[in-house]
């Protein structure tokens, strides 16, 4: 039996459509981590018609990133909420070097540290195939019409709500998002590699295999932590 779990503060990094949300759904079943997905938070703000949603809208629809100061504000605020005290899973944040710097500074202020950055990588040509078949539930659970279908077509396995296609999952927007990823986000691979935090996963394997590999890595990290 393992001793009391040490805090897991994880970042999921990777291109749009690599499977970050899919792995997050599974990891949250394994570990009680606060899930912080800036894309979900921004979509929720839009659905509620808040100022934040209005600010984010045009950037998201074009496949651009929402400005750093806006995203940093919402992500860091969420990070200091009570339920994130014992560990968190960041999905889609940070996406730029200034965002990563802001996160490091906040972690230092809180006296905490990032446990690992999980890079889920997939070649560009696979991304378009994945995103065109992506369907999501209202609560943000992810499926694929072909690769990861729900038990009943068009309905979420967990809450039965209808599945939808995201507006920004249209092919022309996907290419813009992918370009942005290579320009602004992929430098974070080097950034976290240099800090010794990066763990690389082949996202072109089936979801269950990617999940198994991530779990094995996390088990090793926790053992190292206890030594
Ligand atoms: P994906 O499934 O492509 O990884 P997300 O749901 O994480 O997409 O994000 C959707 C959109 O929300 C992004 O294309 C971007 O416009 C905006 N967004 C989400 N997170 C960030 C962030 N950390 N910085 C800037 N923009 C963001
Ligand atoms: P991200 O959060 O990185 O944008 P998602 O988890 O939403 O990516 O995955 C994008 C699409 O690809 C979804 O429809 C999902 O069901 C599917 N998918 C995720 N992981 C895999 C995988 N390993 N193999 C095949 N399809 C996958």
| Nearest CA among 7, 200, 146, 162 for reference residue 86 | 7
Pick the catalytic residue from 46, 78, 134, 135: 134
Q: Which positions ≥6 away from 15 have C-beta within 8 Å?
A: 121, 122, 124, 127, 178, 181, 185
Q: Answer yes or no: is 205 within a domain.
A: yes
Domain assignment present for 109: yes
Contact 174, 17 (CB under 8 A): yes
- Classify residue 212: in a domain, yes or no: yes
Residues whose CB falls within 8 Å of the CB of residue 143, separated by 6 or more in sequence, listed in order: 134, 135, 136, 137, 149, 150, 156, 163
Q: 201: closest CA among 69, 10, 9? A: 10
Number of domains in the chain: 1
In a domain, 42, yes or no: yes
What confidence score (pLDDT) does residue 170 get? 86
Instruction: Give the position, in ligand 2's atom list, of the atom nearest the Cα of 24.
Output: 6
**Is residue 106 a part of any domain in this protein?**
yes
Q: How far apart are CA 149 and CA 176, in angstroms?
A: 26
141 is catalytic: no
pLDDT for 139 equals 87
Instruction: List, for residues 119-146, the tens digit of each pLDDT value.
Output: 999 999 999 999 999 999 988 899 999 9
Q: 71 and 95 in contact (C-beta within 8 Å)?
A: yes
Pocket of ligand 2 (CB under 6 A): 14, 16-22, 130-131, 133-134, 142-144, 147-148, 203, 205-207, 210
Q: Are 63 and 169 in contact (CB under 8 A)?
A: no
Residue of the CA atom closest to atom 10 of ligand 2: 17
Regarding the beta carbon of 93 and ligand 1, being less than 6 Å apart is answered yes
Annotated catalytic, 135? no
> Helix/strand/coil (H, E, C) string of 140-206?
CCEEECCCECCCCCCECCCCCCECECCHHHCHHHHHHHHHHHHHHHCHHHHHHHHCCCEEEEECCCC
Hey, whose CA ends up nearest to atom 1 of ligand 1? 16
How many angstroms separate the alpha carbon of residue 226 from the centre of ligand 1? 35
CA of 38 to the centre of ligand 1 (A): 6
Residue 129 forms part of a structural domain: no
Q: Considering the domain boundaries, does residue 153 fall inside one?
A: no
By most ligand atoms within 8 Å of CB, the mutation choice from 18, 24, 65 for ligand 1 is 65
Residue 78 falls in the annotated catalytic set: no
**Where residue 32 sits, what CATH number does that domain have?**
3.40.50.300
- Whether 166 sits among the annotated catalytic residues: the reply is yes
Catalytic residue among 26, 166, 215, 222: 166
- Residue to mutate (ligand 2; options 26, 41, 142, 206; most atoms within 8 A of CB): 142
pLDDT at 226: 65
Q: Is 46 a catalytic residue?
A: no
Domain, as residue range, for 29:
3-123+180-226
The rounded average pLDDT for each run of 10 residues, N- to C-terminus, in the chain (227 residues) is 65 97 94 94 94 95 96 95 93 98 96 96 93 92 93 96 93 92 98 98 96 96 72
In a domain, 130, yes or no: no
């Amino acid at each position: 039996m393992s001793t009391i779990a040490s805090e897991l503060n994880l970042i999921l990094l990777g291109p749009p459509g690599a499977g970050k949300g899919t792995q997050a759904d599974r990891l949250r079943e394994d570990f009680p981590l606060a899930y912080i997905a800036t894309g979900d938070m921004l979509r929720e703000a839009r659905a509620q018609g808040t100022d934040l949603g209005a600010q984010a809208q045009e950037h998201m629809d074009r496949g651009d990133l929402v400005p750093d100061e806006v995203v940093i504000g919402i992500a860091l605020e969420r990070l200091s909420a009570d339920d994130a005290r014992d560990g968190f899973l960041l999905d889609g944040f940070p996406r730029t070097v200034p965002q990563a710097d802001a996160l490091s500074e906040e972690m230092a202020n809180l006296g905490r540290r990032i446990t690992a950055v999980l890079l889920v990588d997939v070649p560009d040509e696979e991304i378009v195939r994945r995103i065109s078949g992506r369907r999501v539930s209202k609560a943000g659970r992810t499926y694929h019409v072909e690769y990861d279908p729900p038990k009943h077509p068009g309905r979420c396995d967990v809450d039965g709500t209808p599945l939808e296609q995201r507006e920004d999952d249209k092919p022309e927007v996907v290419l813009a998002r992918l370009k942005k990823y290579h320009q602004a986000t992929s430098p974070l691979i080097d950034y976290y590699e240099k800090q010794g935090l990066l763990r690389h996963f082949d996202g072109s394997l089936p979801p269950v295999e990617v999940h198994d590999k991530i779990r094995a890595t996390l088990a090793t990290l926790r053992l190292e932590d206890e030594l």
